[in-house]
Amino acid sequence: MKAAVLRQVGTPLQIEDVQIGKPGPHEVLIRTAAAGVCHSDLHFVEGSYPYPLPAVLGHESAGVVEQVGSEVRTVKPGDHVITCLSAFCGHCEHCLTGHMSLCESPDTKRQKGQEPRLTEAAGNMNQFLNLSSFAEQMLIHEHACTAIRKDMPLDVAALIGCSVTTGVGAVIHTSHVRPGETVAVIGCGGVGLSAINGAAIAGAGRIIAIDRIGSKLNLAKHFGATDVVDASAGDPVEQVKELTKGGVHHSFEAIGLKVTAEQAFRMLRRGGTANIIGMIPVGTKIELHGPDFLGEKRIQGSMMGSNRFPIDMPRFVDFYMSGKLKLDEMISRRIKLEQVNEAFDELKRGELARSVIVFDH
């Protein structure tokens, strides 16, 4: 099958032929229909986060089940599915206490000594984040995908696999935004727009979108922002405090920078919660001012929106089909696998919300 392979940090992905195995007892073989090009992939390309190479990248995808293993009971051939990088085992402490997105069990991967899921002529090929969706097919654990209704367009459904689940989930699961509360979102890319949309669905009273690019702020209004702040036109913290008479109940940092993480904490009112969604580079340290903690302000991370994706994703599909979740507007263009490096270049320039790779089968 054709796949986009990262062989060395800082170099373009190469389109190559990669071999894929057959499903084991708890595995599913999926024909990839679409894969979003996410900023998280770019972090690994640039080396902000280490990963064993070579690897087939891609982690935001949807497709159709082709084969299932002998013990699979959750999906069947012909099902339309959305994948999720936070595969869960179902029997560890995290899973049994309802925190499936935190599962770290090795049971969702092939064990040492077993034939790897992906190979090449020269040896093994590393699977990326349980998925490797920049490829014509995916071989994954059954608890890394969930079936959805077949009238949902798969190119749009792919976005639910990462950015939507991460952004909406951070609002409704991680921070528990309640009707009438105030929200600020820093960064209006795919994840930030999803957080804005999630805040609107949750019934937030004021939703403040913060970015430096005017086109993204305009898009944020369509996703539910009640106010916009141009971060290049002055201190965004002071602008937010002025809009809200003291600060917000919830802030969401969706870029992954030291300065914006610190701003997310500083723009809180007393008792507020800052949620860091962006992937802050390894080794970066965040500085917070001690007296702020006396106001019971909190800062926390969010792993894939604290999701319970087999439940969440079908519901997000229903939200889209009923017009509550804005996904079409998030897709800036549809591309072929061979154009993946162009999409990364555009991400670096901050020009687009989302490029989606569409596979023609």
Q: What is the full per-residue pLDDT of the chain (361 aa) written as tens digits?
A: 999 999 999 999 999 999 999 999 999 999 999 999 998 899 999 998 999 999 999 999 999 999 999 999 999 999 999 999 999 999 999 999 999 999 999 999 998 889 999 999 888 899 999 999 999 999 999 999 999 999 999 999 999 999 999 999 999 999 999 999 999 999 999 999 999 999 999 999 999 999 999 999 999 999 999 999 999 999 999 999 999 999 999 999 999 999 999 999 999 999 999 999 999 998 999 999 888 888 999 999 999 999 999 999 999 999 999 999 999 999 989 999 999 999 999 888 876 667 999 998 5
- Bridge partners of 208, per DSSP, are 184, 227
311 CB neighbour count, 10 Å cutoff: 11
Strands 118-120 and 355-358: unpaired
Model pLDDT, residue 336: 97
For residue 341, the SS3 value is helix
35 token code pair? 């894969």
Please answer whether residues 54 and 126 qualify as being in contact, where contact means their C-beta atoms are separated by less than 8 angstroms: yes
Model pLDDT, residue 361: 57
Q: Which amino acid is at 25?
A: P
Angle 30-279-111 from CA coordinates, rounded to 5°: 45
Going along the chain from its start, the domains and CATH numbers come out as 2-161+331-358 (3.90.180.10), 167-302 (3.40.50.720)
Q: Give, in order, the Cα–Cα distances in Å from 76 to each of 64, 120, 146.
A: 10, 28, 10
Model pLDDT, residue 65: 98
Contacts with 173 (C-beta within 8 Å, 6 or more apart), sequence order:
305, 306, 307, 308
CA proximity to 237, closest of 219, 260, 254: 260
Q: Which residue has the tokens 């389109």?
A: 15
Q: What are phi and psi of 19, to 5 degrees?
A: -90, 140
Model pLDDT, residue 140: 98
> What is the pTM (predicted TM-score) of this model?
0.95
Which own/partner pairs from 350-354 qualify as long-range (CB within 8 Å, at least 24 positions apart)? Answer: 350/189, 350/213, 350/216, 353/189, 353/190, 353/193, 353/216, 353/219, 353/329, 354/36, 354/37, 354/38, 354/159, 354/163, 354/189, 354/190, 354/330
- Exactly one of 89, 145, 162, 188 is catalytic; which is it? 162
Q: What are phi and psi of 323, to 5 degrees?
A: 90, 0
CA proximity to 342, closest of 78, 334, 26: 334
Phi-psi region of 156 (alpha: psi -120 to 50; beta: other; left: phi over 0): alpha
- Exactly one of 26, 39, 59, 143 is catalytic; which is it? 59
CA proximity to 335, closest of 63, 37, 71, 67: 37
103 is catalytic: no
In the chain, the largest separation of any two C-alpha atoms, in whole Å, equals 62
Model pLDDT, residue 348: 86
- Exactly one of 26, 39, 40, 80 is catalytic; which is it? 40
Instruction: Give the length of the chain.
Output: 361
251 is catalytic: no
Contacts with 56 (C-beta within 8 Å, 6 or more apart), sequence order:
3, 4, 5, 6, 18, 118, 125, 126, 127, 128, 132, 134, 135
Please answer whether residues 33 and 359 qualify as being in contact, where contact means their C-beta atoms are separated by less than 8 angstroms: yes
- Exactly one of 26, 39, 43, 250 is catalytic; which is it? 43
Q: Which amino acid is at 81?
A: V
Angle 290-179-176 from CA coordinates, rounded to 5°: 50
Distance CA 218, CA 228 (A): 8
Model pLDDT, residue 123: 85
59 is catalytic: yes
Model pLDDT, residue 353: 62
